[in-house]
Amino acid sequence: MGYLRIRSRHQPFEVAALAMAPVCGGLLLLLGGRPTSVRMAMPVPIQIGWELGLVLVGVGGLLGILWPGRLATGLGIELASVVVFGTISGMYTMALLVVSGRQAIAAASFSTALAVGSLWRAAQIAIDLRRLAQASQCIAVEPAEGGVP
């Protein structure tokens, strides 16, 4: 097996998006000022879940990136966060398009890019976790001189 290459976990766009998510979710929860598209397209429990999801994915994603322990654990936490972040972003895109149609093309394009980027990062992390698992299976213990393993 060749070199084990794990993609950098300090990707500035991902970190910025994950850092902003709990700020947005927290402000939405505290101020109660939901976007019209969200109010019209989602039932209230889903709206609250969407806002809480923003807080949780931001905090969870940053925790995964900064995880001080095992690399696989941090990557797993980050993976879960970016998958949910992509889903939440996609929910917002759908709400925008359903309620506002073509008038929401610009906003929907940005939230779609966030969803696609999140899911792309999730695929990268899944590949890295697979490589890490394969590398851990390839580690062989060399016998001591004249000894048996």
Per-residue confidence band for 136, with pLDDT thresholds at 50, 70 and 90: confident
Query: What digits encode the pLDDT tens for the residues 43-56?
Result: 999 999 999 999 99
Per-residue confidence band for 135, with pLDDT thresholds at 50, 70 and 90: confident
- pLDDT surpassing 60 at residue 24: yes
Q: What's the rounded mean pLDDT across residues 3-27?
A: 85
- pLDDT surpassing 70 at residue 21: yes
Would you call 138 exposed, middle or buried from its count of C-beta atoms within 10 A (0-12, 13-18, 19+)?
Answer: exposed
pTM reported for the whole predicted model? 0.83
What's the gap between Cα 90 and its chain centre?
Answer: 12
Question: Can you tell me the distance from the alpha carbon of 27 to that of 63, in angstroms, rounded to the nearest whole number?
Answer: 20
DSSP label of 66:
T
Predicted local confidence at residue 134, as pLDDT: 82
Query: What digits encode the pLDDT tens for the residues 52-111?
Result: 999 999 999 999 999 998 888 999 999 999 999 999 999 999 999 999 999 999 999 999
Q: Which residue has the tokens 């998510």?
A: 21
The token pair that represents 121 in the structure block: 């990062």
